[in-house]
Amino acid sequence: MNFKVVLEKDEDGAIVATVPSLPGCISQGKTEKEAIANIREAIDLHVSSLAREGIPLRVPKNYKTVEVAFPA
């Protein structure tokens, strides 16, 4: 199963990784490589927790990601 992961640099320079289709699934790292490794572990733990609780995994099948710019 594949998940879209968003990587953003925070104000301290860390790379923060979130998974939009798994609310609350977040991790970080000093580098992109570290953040990706950490979010893989977070996804595994998140999905395992949902399974233990009997909560079905609902991954959107047909969605579109867009960027919206606006004046500062």
* Of 35, 29, 31, 39, the residue nearest 2 (C-alpha): 39
pLDDT in tens, 18-72: 998 899 999 999 999 999 999 999 999 999 999 999 998 876 677 777 777 777 5
Q: Where are the domains of the chain?
A: 6-53
19, burial (CB in 10 Å: exposed 0-12, middle 13-18, buried 19+): buried
- Angstrom distance (rounded) from CA 1 to CA 34: 21
pTM, two decimal places: 0.80
- Angstrom distance (rounded) from CA 52 to CA 46: 10
pLDDT in tens, 7-28: 999 999 999 999 988 999 999 9
